[in-house]
Amino acid sequence: MAHCLLNQNSKVGDGAHCAGVYSPVVDVLRAKGWRIEQMPCPELAFTGLNRFWAVKEQLDTPAYRQHCRRLAAGVAEMISVRAGQGEEVALIGVEGSPSMGVHITSSDPARGGRPEWPEGTAEHVSGEGIFVEELRRELDERGLSVRLGGETHALADHDEATQSQQITAALDDR
Amino acid sequence: MKPDERSFRIALVADRYVNPADGEVDGLAVAAKAGWGVMQLPAADYPAAVTAPVLATIAEELQEFSRHGYDIVQVGDCTGLATALAAAGLSAPDRMTPGTDAELLEYLRARPAPPVSTWSWLAKDQG
């Protein structure tokens, strides 16, 4: 599970939807009988709590990739232990995130400079965030696969019931 | 835009309280009720070689929260955490081992408000 789903304090400024634990996703996982394991927040330690909102291109530097790869290796080792015990693993990310998106990330190749841009910029595109890409690479190297689901607050059409249905479907997949 | 609702409060919670057995303290539910964020500590059944880099990452994240004045407590035990925190130049946070949900809730709610944050733009927005 993405770090911020248990700890909204890690969110970029103006991004915390609640005080701490985002219960709707926790509730779905528990109702389906899944253990919860929290991943690190790749942006938190690298760009800090006072970071600006960013799109994937702004974060996609060799140094950030290296940081994500280091964190992803730790997560992949934990997943490897669980997979070795015969457990299924699902990755619950954050749709629209430049780091944690699993189906939708954010992209705007032109964004940069003074942090002002028009409302409604169409930045959400199909694809994975940088950390998720690096985690997938680590899992591929270990011959592991996971199910994918995402929290959808950042998307314009966010609806909690739909979000729960989509995560449930991801957990029930296979 | 909806105001940022973060609490500036974080509990490092042992895995046994994040994934509680029947009848055990439910750390996630209590933290949600109290308005605290949770950083999960690795489960005790992971080998030390697996948990060491995870704990180092947790310590890195705590460095960032700590320097911004967030309140941090530890709920339950975790082998290796003190070493990881010390390596990051952090002292061990206040710690408690709850016997019941009510005990944990009372503990979290009794904590004093965290130091004034540097988040001046949030303070302005939230009046």
The closest CB to that of A49, out of B35, B50, B64, belongs to: B64
Classify residue A27 as left (phi > 0), alpha (psi -120 to 50) or beta.
alpha
Contacts of residue B102, defined as CB under 8 A and 6 or more positions apart, other chains included, come to: none
Q: Identify the pLDDT of residue B127.
A: 40
Q: Tell me the pLDDT of chain A (174 aa) as tens digits.
A: 999 999 999 999 989 999 999 999 999 999 999 999 999 999 999 999 999 999 999 999 999 999 999 999 999 999 999 999 999 999 999 999 999 999 999 999 989 988 877 766 688 999 999 999 999 999 999 999 999 999 998 888 899 999 999 999 999 875
DSSP string, A83-96: HHTT---EEEEETT
A57, exposed or middle or buried, with CB in 10 Å at 0-12, 13-18, 19+?
Answer: middle
Proportion of chain B above pLDDT 90, given as a percent: 84
DSSP string, B88-122: TT-PPPEEE--SSHHHHHHHHHHSPPPPPPS-HHH
DSSP string, B47-76: -HHHHHHHHHHHHHHHHHHHHTT-EEEEES
**B64:A6 CB<8 A:** no
CB contacts under 8 A, B 16-35 vs A, are 18-19, 28, 31-32, 34-35
**B53:A10 CB<8 A:** no
C-alpha angle A82/A84/A87, rounded to 5°? 50
How far is B99 from B91, CA to CA, in rounded Å? 25
Question: Average pLDDT for residues B97-115, to the nearest whole number?
Answer: 94
Q: What is the value of ipTM here, to two decimals? A: 0.94
Using a CB-CB distance cutoff of 8 angstroms, which residues of chain A are in contact with residue B8?
A: 9
The answer to whether A56 and A105 are in contact (CB under 8 A) is yes
Identify the CA nearest to A129 among candidates A53, A74, A37, A60. Answer: A60
The answer to whether B40 and A35 are in contact (CB under 8 A) is no
- pLDDT at position B12 over 50: yes
The answer to whether A144 and A76 are in contact (CB under 8 A) is yes
Interval B34-82: pLDDT, tens: 999 999 999 999 999 999 999 999 999 999 999 999 999 999 999 999 9
Contacts of residue B57, defined as CB under 8 A and 6 or more positions apart, other chains included, come to: A40, A45, A71, A74
As a whole number of Å, the end-to-end CA separation of chain A is 19
- pLDDT at position B126 over 60: no
Task: Give the minimum alpha-carbon distance from A7 to chain B in angstroms, rounded to a whole number.
Answer: 4
Mean pLDDT (chain B, rounded): 92
Using a CB-CB distance cutoff of 8 angstroms, which residues of chain A are in contact with residue B5?
A: 8, 16-19
DSSP helix/strand/coil, A47: helix
Which residue would you say has higher pLDDT here, A137 or B117? A137
Nearest CA in chain A to B31: A21
Identify the CA nearest to B38 among candidates A161, A97, A10. Answer: A10
Angle between helices A23-31 and A160-172 (to 10 degrees): 30
The closest CB to that of B39, out of A37, A38, A74, belongs to: A38
